[in-house]
Structures are given as structure tokens and as C-alpha cells.
């Protein structure tokens, strides 16, 4: 009899690929949606990659409410807690808890339900910026032993929320003496092919490059392919050695100018609008004064700091594919789905 995995937030970019790969590997999958009306969208997205048949089921549950979580985890062997609140704009000046509270409380709701149901393991998606110094501008390489300070007032709201949520999860598990174990995965910038144009998240950066920009700011990313990110989640789910561990899953570092070059080379005529020049730092800073959407990327301008994935490679046997390959696959997928 196949084991059952609950994936939270089935309409999300990473969660959708988790559902696809789990089905491909023979698991039964249950995924949460915030309302019944979301089911068809998930089914259509998953159907582009795999036939789910009767192996995909749904539970209605929201991170902001206790309702539905006990039923969602009932009968499940594992939980991949992928869902997290997202925000296009940084709300920290308006409401510093707008992202933090639902991220932290949502993680605790999932863990309470999972431990009460006796699932074997919860694998929670955190972020690499929970294991980072406040500034990325200093030289250095960090691993999973470093924790970001969530009380730092300079942190963007999303980074603060992810750090607080992961901290709360580990604190909760420290007081738990049942069979359930926790593992957290800390990805970098998640790119790669999409299942549906309705959930773009971080891949919009690649979309902007393909559509054409005046130039690329001196911003860099540690790129992880969404398919590799799903793979490390599943490895962490089943590996005995992964219990109680954090794993960075950041992938190769790529400057935005290098991503643009990869797209021009890999997309042929479709890459004709991809920018060829780099925008000077002073001009990016000046533009951010008038364009609020640029302010969130300012801490990464001229980034020097990196992360190491040596632990995931050693313990889980995980490897990320080349960043340029991921960026090109993302661009081709966006074109195929008529997003750009």
C-alpha cells in the first residue's frame, strides 16, 4: 500500500511540483487548498506533467485558521509544509506582523496537527536567508549553523517572517516527545519551468529579463531549480539521517547579467529583448528612491555573501543542476505558457 504525503498550499509554485514528483514516485498525495474552488486549478496544473487518477485528494485548510488541519493530516505518513504567505511589496513599515504572524502561526498549526496524528516526519520549507548575516555585502560563506536575527529592524518583512516561522517550528519540536520528526529546507532563488501561469512567484524575475529591461542591476542569486528543490524535500522526507536537521538548498550563484547572457544564448530569437548592459549601482539606488518595488532588492546590490550546500550533498546525496540551465528552462517555459 502506497504511503500518503500531505503537501500544504497545493496552488503554489513549489507545492505543485511537489505533488507532481510525489505522484511520479508512487506516493498517494493529499494537498491543502484554501477553498473548494481551488481544486480544479491544481488538477489542471498537475495534469500537464502526470496523470493523478485517484491518487490525489484535497483538504480545505488555511494557515490563518485551525479549521481543517486535523482532517488534512489524518492518515498521512509525511507532511511537506511548503505553503507560506507571500507579499509583492514589503509591508514592514505599515504592519511589521502582516507576514510574520500567519507564517509563524501557520507552521505551528501544521506541526500541532501532524504531531497529534503521529506522522513520521514534517519537512518544512524555510529560506536560505534564515541562515544569513544581516547584510549580504560582506564576503563570507555561511552554513546551517548560522541563524538570522529576526529582531534586526533592517530585515525585509518576508525574510523576518521566514526566520520567525522556522524558529517557532524548532522551538515547538523541542518540547515534543512523540514519533514525529522535523527537517527544514532552506532554498535560494527558486526558478525553473512552471506548471501554470497563475503562480509565478520568483520566476517573474526571469520573465522581466525576457520581456526586456533597460539593463540588469548588479544583483546576484543562488539559483535552485524547482525540480531539484522538490528532490531535496523528498530525500529529506525519507532519509533517517535528516531527522532534526536543517539543509541549505541554494544552488549555484549567478549574477543577473550572467542570467541575461544565458537567456540570450539559450532562447535564440526569443531572447532578442533580453538586456545586454548592466545598470550602475548609483543609478539603481537613485531609482529606488522613486520606485518602491526596487527597495526590497537593495540589500542584495553588489552581493558578496554565499551559502554552502555541502551538508545536503554529504547527508542526502543531493546535487543542484547548473544555474544557467535552470534559467533557460524557466525562460522557455514562460514563453510556452504565453507569459512573456
At residue 294, the pLDDT reads 66
Catalytic residues: 162
pTM above 0.85, yes or no: yes
At residue 93, the pLDDT reads 45
- Give residue for cell 509565478: 200
> Grid coordinates standing for 167?
524558529
pLDDT tens digits, 78-111: 999 999 875 544 444 457 678 889 999 999 999 9
Mean pLDDT of 189-207: 92
Q: Write out the DSSP string of 114-156.
A: HHHHT-SEEEEE--GGGSS-S-SSS-EEE-TT----TT-TTS-
**Domains delineated in the chain:** 4-201+223-251+306-323 (3.40.50.720)
pLDDT tens digits, 292-335: 766 666 767 887 789 999 999 999 999 999 999 999 999 999 99
At residue 89, the pLDDT reads 45
**Angle between helices 323-336 and 204-211 in degrees, nearest 10:** 70
Kindly report the number of other CB atoms within 10 A of residue 67's CB atom. 12
Please give the order of strands across the beta sheet that includes 220-225: 189-191, 220-225, 252-255
* Phi–psi pair at 116, nearest 5 degrees: -65, -35
Give the span between the Cα atoms of 221 and 232, in whole angstroms: 19
pLDDT tens digits, 216-238: 999 888 999 999 999 999 999 99
Q: What is the CA radius of gyration of the chain?
A: 19
Amino acid at each position: 500500500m502506497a504511503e500518503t504525503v500531505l503537501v500544504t498550499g497545493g496552488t503554489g509554485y513549489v507545492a505543485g511540483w511537489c505533488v507532481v514528483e510525489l505522484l511520479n514516485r508512487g506516493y498517494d498525495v493529499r494537498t491543502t487548498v484554501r477553498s473548494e474552488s481551488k481544486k480544479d486549478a491544481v488538477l489542471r496544473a498537475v495534469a500537464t506533467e502526470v496523470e493523478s487518477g485517484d491518487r490525489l485528494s484535497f483538504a480545505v485548510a488555511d494557515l490563518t485558521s485551525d479549521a481543517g488541519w486535523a482532517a488534512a493530516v489524518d492518515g498521512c505518513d509525511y507532511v511537506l509544509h511548503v505553503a507560506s504567505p507571500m507579499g509583492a511589496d514589503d509591508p514592514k513599515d505599515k504592519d511589521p506582523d502582516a507576514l510574520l504572524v500567519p507564517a509563524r502561526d501557520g507552521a505551528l498549526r501544521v506541526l500541532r496537527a501532524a504531531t497529534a496524528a503521529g506522522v513520521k516526519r514534517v519537512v518544512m520549507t524555510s529560506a536560505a536567508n534564515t541562515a544569513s548575516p544581516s547584510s549580504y555585502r560582506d564576503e563570507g560563506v555561511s552554513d546551517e549553523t548560522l541563524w538570522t536575527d529576526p529582531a534586526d529592524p533592517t530585515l525585509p518583512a518576508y525574510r523576518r517572517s521566514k526566520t520567525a516561522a522556522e524558529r517557532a517550528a524548532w522551538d515547538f519540536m523541542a518540547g515534543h516527545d512523540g514519533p514525529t520528526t522535523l527537517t527544514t529546507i532552506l532554498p535560494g532563488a527558486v526558478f525553473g519551468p512552471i506548471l501554470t501561469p497563475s503562480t509565478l512567484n520568483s520566476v517573474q524575475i526571469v520573465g522581466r529579463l525576457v520581456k526586456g529591461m533597460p539593463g540588469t542591476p548588479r544583483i546576484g542569486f543562488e539559483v535552485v531549480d524547482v525540480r531539484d528543490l522538490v528532490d531535496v524535500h523528498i530525500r529529506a522526507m525519507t532519509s533517517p539521517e535528516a531527522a532534526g536537521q536543517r539543509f541549505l538548498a541554494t544552488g549555484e550563484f549567478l549574477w543577473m547579467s550572467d542570467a541575461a547572457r544565458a537567456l540570450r544564448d539559450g532562447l535564440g530569437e526569443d531572447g532578442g529583448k533580453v538586456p545586454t548592459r548592466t545598470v550602475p549601482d548609483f543609478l539603481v539606488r537613485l531609482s529606488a528612491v522613486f520606485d518602491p518595488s526596487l527597495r526590497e532588492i537593495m540589500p542584495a546590490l553588489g552581493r558578496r555573501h554565499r551559502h554552502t550546500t555541502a551538508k545536503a550533498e554529504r547527508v542526502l546525496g543531493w546535487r543542484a543542476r547548473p544555474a544557467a540551465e535552470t534559467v533557460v528552462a524557466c525562460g522557455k517555459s514562460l514563453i510556452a505558457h504565453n507569459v512573456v
